[in-house]
Amino acid sequence: MPFIVKAASLSLLSHPRLNCSVDEKKEALVFHGRHNIGVAMDTEHGLIVPNIKDVQRLSVFEISEELIRQGRVGGGGGGWGREWLF
């Protein structure tokens, strides 16, 4: 899974329009430099979607560690922190 997350981040570098939002007041696209990617995880408490922040800065190993950490926190049914917010 960490390879897929990293590949998605690398693809956003080549296709920045996939990582933008619309500013309706200015009628313009707002490009985002950060890649915050959510990964759905099935736990005994139900489906969770932790958000890995700044994937573009992380190595595959660091993404793997973060997925494991967030899976443990979310799988325990508590410890919800800022990483769970989009």
Tell me, yes or no, whether 82 lies in a domain: no
Give a yes or no: residue 65 inside a domain: yes
- Position 20 in a domain: yes
Q: Is residue 85 part of a domain?
A: no
pTM score > 0.85 for this model?
A: no
Is residue 44 domain-resident?
Answer: yes
- Decide which of 72 and 78 is more confident: 72
Question: For residue range 7-28, what is the model confidence (pLDDT) as tens digits?
Answer: 999 999 999 999 999 999 999 9
Asked if 31 contacts 38 with a C-beta cutoff of 8 angstroms, the reply is: no
13, part of any domain: yes
* C-alpha closest to that of 6 among 48, 65, 83: 65
83: in domain: no
pLDDT tens track for 26-59: 999 999 999 999 999 888 878 888 899 999 999 9
Q: How many domains does the chain have?
A: 1
